[in-house]
Amino acid sequence: MNKPHAPNSWEARAMTSVMAGFTDFPTLKARGPIVLTHGKGVRVYDTEGRDYLDANSGLWNVVCGWDHEGMIEAMVAQTRRFPAYHAFFGRMADSAVALSERLVEVSPFESGRVFFTNSGSEANDTMVKMLWMLGMVEGQPQRRKIITRVNSYHGVTAVSASMTGKPYNAHFGLPLPGFLHADCPHYWKYGNEGESEAEFSARMARNLEALIIKEGADTIAGFFAEPVMGAGGVIPPSAGYFAAIQPVLRKYGIPLIADEVICGFGRTGNVWGCDTYEIEPDAIISSKALTCGFMPLGAVILGNEFAERFQAASEKIEEFPHGFTASGHPVACAVGLKAIDVILNEGLLDNVRKVSPYFMNRLRGFEDHPIIGEARGIGLMGALEMVSDKATKAPWDGSLSVSERVANACMDQGLICRPLGQSVVLCPPFIMDEPLLDEMFDKLSLALDHVAKGLGR
């Protein structure tokens, strides 16, 4: 759907003034940007009046839809009462205190503490600094190394991008020294011939232990893992993966940090991905659905044992010398309180559980499609992996940009989905019902057929 944009149109202005991130520039040049004006329910609308069913929930986060009156009212009321402050010098908004209490209450921890940031990237960055400071103050300054996994995603700051196991970070000269990447637990892609899924998970644990021994356990500050790898392409862990690796981490005294930025607050069908996969973390990283996307907010939620150690370390040097101007922003925290209430008490989490079997059934229906190798997911998050050969699982040549073609064809159908590598990802809002899911999958089917025809399939 290529067309020239009128001079001084929103699209033409965007092309000359906006530096787009995570955007395929050949597509942007050929098709132009989409400038949105408003949203209603699960749909967003552009400057030309076209509507799109957003199967990405914005960016995993707008789970209650774009016009939830309760969310809007919570934001407006707090803005009128106390619109801005910080959380430095022992001063903080009451809404920040209330949200800290609520986050600990709904977390897997019996007690703990919360540090607020503005994003998941900043929260992961903050957690790394906490681990580094803990090592320095406790007399173990060599504990600097951070382990994540290949194909994981933890953010875009210099530190969190170093944690992110994606090849594009090489363009920034990253990762920084000391950031290690263990195996990606994607059984379909990395399992050996004749290897069962349980055997694969056991191998992942053996390889992790070998990495720890090679690097030196006393040099490792922490291990970060997403319950489901989100921006890696919705990759659920292999069966038994976390049960296999957690004893290894405990054996060597390595903290486990669950990056719940995407999975947290309902995406997998439980409040936390930790609940879904029986993960026992030392800390949790949260963002995205924490405010239903209505305000920027991230949180580091420390379990009680880690919180007490870190509090003692901070008191020893008199402070935790870290923070952001908008940490604990009163409006963002008030919105976070309302978002948790909406998700847990207004039926959104219940709806994820209700519709996810239908979602997964329709998703798996694409496994017979000529260009699909794997359909995978859990809860209300899924992905379709494109292959050029089903038997060998061979990917398409990158120059063909197959997933980008599918996403563009979806846009032409009025559907927003996300290309990620050789996959197309779906993570719709929590308010979807079966007719909306049918609309989403029917449009995706038309797009896949269109692309397959162009590829001679």
Give the HSE-up count for residue 44: Cα atoms under 13 Å, Cβ half-sphere. 20
Q: How much is the pLDDT for 7?
A: 85
* Contact assessment for residue 313 and residue 45, using Cβ atoms and an 8 Å cutoff: no
Provide the pLDDT for residue 363. Answer: 98
Q: Which residues of the chain have pLDDT under 50?
A: 1
What is the 3-state secondary structure of 6-57?
A: CCCCHHHHHHHHCCCCCCCHHHHHHHCCCCEEEEECCEEEECCCCEEEECCH
| DSSP string covering 372-418 | EEEEEEETTEEEEEE-SBTTTTBPPPGGG-HHHHHHHHHHHTTEE-E
Q: Where are the beta strands (DSSP E) in 228-321?
A: 256-259, 283-286, 298-303
Q: What is the pLDDT of residues 246-279, one digit of tens each?
A: 999 999 999 999 999 999 999 999 999 999 999 9
- Output the pLDDT for position 3: 57
Taking the C-alpha atoms of residue 33 and residue 29, their distance in angstroms, rounded to an integer, is 8
Indicate the Cα dihedral angle 226, 228, 230, 235, nearest 10°: 130
Give the CATH superfamily of 34-67+347-454.
Aspartate Aminotransferase, domain 1 (3.90.1150.10)
Please give the backbone phi and psi of residue 228, each rounded to the nearest 5 degrees, phi first: -120, 130
Domain extents for the chain?
34-67+347-454, 71-345
Domain topology for 71-345? Aspartate Aminotransferase; domain 2 (3.40.640)
pLDDT recorded at residue 186: 98
- How high is the pLDDT of residue 4? 65
Residues in the chain, how many? 457
| Residue 40: per-residue pLDDT | 98
34-67+347-454 shares its CATH topology with 71-345: no
> Residue 1: its pLDDT value, please?
47
